[in-house]
Chain A
Amino acid sequence: MSTSMSRDLLRVLPEMLVAAAAVLGLLLGSFLPRHRQWVVRALAAAAVAAALAVAVARWPAGGTPAFDGVYTVDVALAGTRVIVLGALLLVFALAAGEVRGAARETEFVVLTLLGGLGAVLLAGAADTMLLAAAYLLASVPLYALAAFAKDAPGTEGALKYYLLGALLGVTLLFGVMVLFGGGGATAYRVLAESLPRGPGAAVAVGVLALFAGLLFKAGAVPAHFWVPDVTEGARPPVGALVTTVPKIGAVVAIHRFAGTVLAPTDLDWPLVVAIIAAATMTLGNLAAFFQDSVRRLLAYSTISQVGYVLLAVAAATRSDLALPALLLYLAAYAVTNLGAFAVVCALPETRTLADYTGLRRRYPWLALALVVLLLGLVGTPPTAVFAGKLTVFTAALDAGFGWLVVLAVVNTVASVFYYLRWIVPAVRSGDFAGRPAPQAGAVALAAAPVTIAVGLLAGPLLAAFDGPLLPS
């Protein structure tokens, strides 16, 4: 093994740790007795925590291409690693009550690890072939997880998820192929030079086809139809996972592709992204308005949140703040969304908004956490999403998307309405029937102050997330 190869392997140590934990976990799980399968969960959590520590400790200063430029180790990847790995830890904590001693505990853990790994690879890919592989890795484990409970709603959701994913996966491969035809390469570095000279229409078609696959992973319009069905049909921890982790990788992948490959072309891709962003936040919000099921409401809320995130992508090459804003928003979104899902996981039988009546009286702290988290999703200061929205809006204004920011503001105001539809019964007096599961409840209680802390610590976070996107 050459020294450059071993240096590259060292650079992707966090990814290797997660992959090793998945393989080892699968082996261990196959001969551990059911009541000892917690060992696999502990191993996975330890590996993810170790990977997280490595990712933080080896924070890259600039961009370094690895493996002959197929993969990029830079701040965008480092940010994604930290957010995804942190999210995986939260998901493990969320699912603890549900999967402990369950028949397929190991499988759950391994599939979650692989799905997370796929999301990280999406963010780091600097080659369309690796991007396609990462897409599959980020998708296939989640199809299985969606149907994990083997019940009718879960199976239906998984089928929808799989069909749409397969279709748009093919589209993505088609895009890869067309871009290869137009640019003669799969590496972003080469494509950036060859595509501006390539056939314009074919390039545009290829880019759109590629984006279609990534938008499916991000749960953005027009590839968002699976989100509510999977979120409602799958078990709540799985819903939390699929609405958080793949989105992070996919959005960073779009950002990277747009910021490096498309930047030199004369395609008006910022406008395309801006239109997708506008449609995503607006349609997500409109659909969320009159949902009575908390999970469907959260599902549509996650769609609209992706719309706000895409504002930063639209500004990718026009504002220095775009990348830090994007990563800050993703971090804020991950912790807030998982926190809100934690409340749902803690109360899996409390399905409708009306069922939350009286939560404040029985469980005042859980109700307070829910209020903080939902107001956090609105973007109330000083929570994390506020800091994210603020920087994203600034980046978009800076990039000349005034109309988009105005639309985002209008959408934010509109979103208050449906989050309040959840808050109001929760703080109203009444008899509350549910009993929160302790682990998931603890995650919710922990997530609420963390969202405020992230908001207050936005300064150092933005500084850490600042870095060049282009591999040097």
Chain B
Amino acid sequence: MLTLVIFLPVVVAAVLLAVPRAGDRTVRWAWIATSAVEVALVTAMWVTYSPAPDGYAFEQHHRWIPSVGAGYHVGADGLSLPLLALTAVLFLACAVYSVRRTRRMRAFAALFLFLETVCLGVFTALDLLLFFVFFDLSIVGMYFVIAGWGHRGAARAALMFFLYTFLGSLVLLLGFLGLYLLSSPHSFDIVELARQDPAAGRGAVAGLVLLALVLGLAIKTPTVPVHTWLPPAHVEAPAAGSAILAGILLKMGTYGFVRIVLPVLPGTWRAYAPVIVVVGVVSVLYGALVAMAQRDFKRMIAYTSVNHMGYIVLAFGAAALVAASEEQARQLAITGAVTQMVSHGLITGALFLLAGVLHDRGGTYDLGSYGGLARQLPAFAGLTALAVFASLGLPGFSGFVAEFQIFTGSLSGAPVATAVALLGVLLTAVLLLRAYQRIFLGPSRTVVTGDLTVSETLAIGPLMALSVAIGLFPRFLLDVIEPAARGVL
């Protein structure tokens, strides 16, 4: 079941490439249909989800490289299932969004289907090597998306993205090798490693392994100070590429923390948690402040991603500082962090697609070139307003649920840091509202025509609907995450 869910997209991609002269029309519908099937399959998984005693459902385990203890081990639990759902939904949204606007449709669709497999693979891998394989391939896939379909400066941005994140992934690999060598018997299996706690009593070596893992994942997340690849990649990528990059690929970093680092190196993580908290808070504030200074709409959203991912890192750090007696707070922080991953994926995905619409209509992302668009494009203005409010964490949207839990859970562990991070919410509110005002209110500066098309509405609308659904009825999501969050640290 799970293997089918993971590999169906890449199989369809191969078929699309192999069929000679498949027309754009065929490709388009095959792409949308596959993505829709994936959503249906993941929904079916969600409905039938009942974890085994070890916490995982849909588990599959086959030998791959037995001499180094690596296997094809996949499974889904409360931490991965929400991200699988997010992946399926966001890829469907991108398929629908890209339907009429893309040159070289066949290669584009094949790349996105390939990326979908890779993303689903990362979120289900229970083996470090398997995780790494998918993690690394996501970089290759995204490189070609940015380089092949990006804006004018794409070649440079794509190269920077590739080199920077590839360095991150190899540092991560070093960390994995370190874990492997620390474990006894040697293994790459995440479940086995979590059981062994291989770093216990290893002192400085464990610290080095943690450093490699954290650095590798932090580059992907990204946190300050290793975030500098992100803005150019986002600005130059095509809209759907940005949406996937921000919505899914960034989550691989934070998911790596909660799936690998926290369970496998709990003691070492606790020892260095204050550093993590500081990194999280700095990312929150720095991301917000730099976003505030941007005149480019897309670049601004990119920096708000740094800010939003900062909350997640803060929660992971604070969860380790919470006293042992306050199990509740720790669970709340972790649950909030996972909810934030889903929420940020939906909202930022929507914002990037909306930025794509803006660029389509006005030919630029420059905030100063727009004004009074609300009168000319009312539907676009309305949907963007929803996304902006969701992004700044207004109650009723998923962002509020997530950030509220993060702050409540983190408060007892890291009170000062949490208080400082709250400032970030304020800053984000200011900068998003100011940007909205500039584009949509005030006097018109340019004549822009063409409100949201059907495919754009169908792509972006459901993302916001889901955000509202999580904001109003969060239990269906939290009930899945909470039991899994309990076992993380």
A residues adjacent to B (C-beta < 8 A)? 321, 324, 368, 375, 380-382, 386-387, 390-391, 393-394, 397-398, 405-406, 409-410, 412-413, 416-417, 420, 424, 427, 456, 458-459, 462-463, 466
Distance in Å: Cβ of B99 to nearest Cβ of chain A: 22
Minimum CB distance partner of B139 in chain A: A380
Note all chain B residues with C-beta closer than 8 A to A409: 167, 170-171, 173-174
Q: A375-B140, A380-B137, A406-B174 are in contact. Are A321 and B68 (CB under 8 A)?
A: yes
Note all chain A residues with C-beta closer than 8 A to B162: 416, 420
Note all chain B residues with C-beta closer than 8 A to A405: 174, 177
On whether the beta carbons of A424 and B155 are closer than 8 Å, the reply is: yes
On whether the beta carbons of A413 and B180 are closer than 8 Å, the reply is: no
On whether the beta carbons of A427 and B133 are closer than 8 Å, the reply is: no
**A-B residue pairs in contact (CB < 8 Å), sample of 20:** A324-B67, A381-B129, A382-B133, A387-B65, A390-B177, A394-B180, A394-B181, A397-B178, A409-B171, A412-B170, A413-B166, A413-B167, A416-B166, A424-B155, A427-B144, A427-B148, A458-B64, A459-B66, A462-B68, A463-B67
Chain B 7-42 interface mask (CB, 8 Å, partner A; 1/0): 000000000010000000000000000000000000
Q: A405-B174, A412-B170 are in contact. Are A462 and B65 (CB under 8 A)?
A: yes
Interface hits, B116-145 → A, CB 8 Å: 129, 132-133, 136-137, 140, 144
Note all chain A residues with C-beta closer than 8 A to B136: 380-381
Most chain A CB within 10 A, of B132, B140, B162, B177, is at B177
Q: A321-B68, A463-B66 are in contact. Are A413 and B177 (CB under 8 A)?
A: no
What interface size band does chain B fall in? 20 to 34
Secondary structure call for the B interface: helix
Chain B 371-415 interface mask (CB, 8 Å, partner A; 1/0): 000000000000000000000000000000000000000000000
On whether the beta carbons of B170 and A381 are closer than 8 Å, the reply is: no
Distance in Å: Cβ of B428 to nearest Cβ of chain A: 33
The verdict on B147 contacting chain A, using a C-beta distance below 8 Å, is yes
Note all chain B residues with C-beta closer than 8 A to A412: 170
On whether the beta carbons of B177 and A397 are closer than 8 Å, the reply is: yes
Distance in Å: Cβ of A416 to nearest Cβ of chain B: 6
Chain B 63-87 interface mask (CB, 8 Å, partner A; 1/0): 1111110100000000000000000
On whether the beta carbons of A413 and B132 are closer than 8 Å, the reply is: no
Interface hits, B234-271 → A, CB 8 Å: none
Q: Within the complex, which residue of B63, B137, B140, B147 is in contact with A424, where a contact is CB–CB below 8 Å?
A: B147
On whether the beta carbons of B148 and A458 are closer than 8 Å, the reply is: no
B residues adjacent to A (C-beta < 8 A)? 17, 63-68, 70, 129, 132-133, 136-137, 140, 144, 147-148, 155, 159, 162-163, 166-167, 170-171, 173-174, 177-178, 180-181
Note all chain A residues with C-beta closer than 8 A to B66: 459, 463
Note all chain A residues with C-beta closer than 8 A to B174: 393, 405-406, 409
Most chain B CB within 10 A, of A375, A386, A409, is at A409
Note all chain A residues with C-beta closer than 8 A to B148: 427
Note all chain B residues with C-beta closer than 8 A to A394: 68, 177, 180-181
Distance in Å: Cβ of B204 to nearest Cβ of chain A: 12
Note all chain A residues with C-beta closer than 8 A to B129: 381, 390
* 10 residue pairs, one from A and one from B, having the closest CB atoms: A381-B133, A459-B65, A462-B67, A409-B170, A413-B167, A458-B65, A382-B133, A381-B136, A459-B66, A394-B177
Q: Within the complex, which residue of B67, B163, B173, B177 is in contact with A466, where a contact is CB–CB below 8 Å?
A: B67
Note all chain B residues with C-beta closer than 8 A to A324: 67
Distance in Å: Cβ of A321 to nearest Cβ of chain B: 7
Cα-based distance from A386 to B64 in the complex (angstroms): 14
Cα-based distance from A380 to B118 in the complex (angstroms): 13
Cα-based distance from A116 to B60 in the complex (angstroms): 44
Distance in Å: Cβ of A169 to nearest Cβ of chain B: 38
Distance in Å: Cβ of A405 to nearest Cβ of chain B: 7
Q: A382-B133, A398-B181 are in contact. Are A413 and B163 (CB under 8 A)?
A: yes
Minimum CB distance partner of B147 in chain A: A424
Cα-based distance from A420 to B17 in the complex (angstroms): 22
Note all chain A residues with C-beta closer than 8 A to B163: 413, 416-417
Note all chain A residues with C-beta closer than 8 A to B178: 397
Distance in Å: Cβ of A359 to nearest Cβ of chain B: 14
Note all chain A residues with C-beta closer than 8 A to B167: 409-410, 413
Note all chain A residues with C-beta closer than 8 A to B177: 390, 393-394, 397, 405
Cα-based distance from A86 to B68 in the complex (angstroms): 26
Minimum CB distance partner of B180 in chain A: A394
Most chain A CB within 10 A, of B147, B155, B170, is at B170
On whether the beta carbons of A459 and B64 are closer than 8 Å, the reply is: yes
Distance in Å: Cβ of A342 to nearest Cβ of chain B: 21
Cα-based distance from A427 to B140 in the complex (angstroms): 14
Task: Taking A380-B136, A387-B65, A409-B174 as given, write out 9 further A-B residue pairs in contact, using a Cβ cutoff of 8 Å, ordered by the A residue number.
Answer: A321-B67, A390-B129, A397-B181, A398-B181, A409-B170, A412-B170, A416-B162, A424-B155, A466-B67
Q: Within the complex, which residue of B159, B173, B181 is in contact with A420, where a contact is CB–CB below 8 Å?
A: B159
Minimum CB distance partner of A319 in chain B: B181
Minimum CB distance partner of B134 in chain A: A381
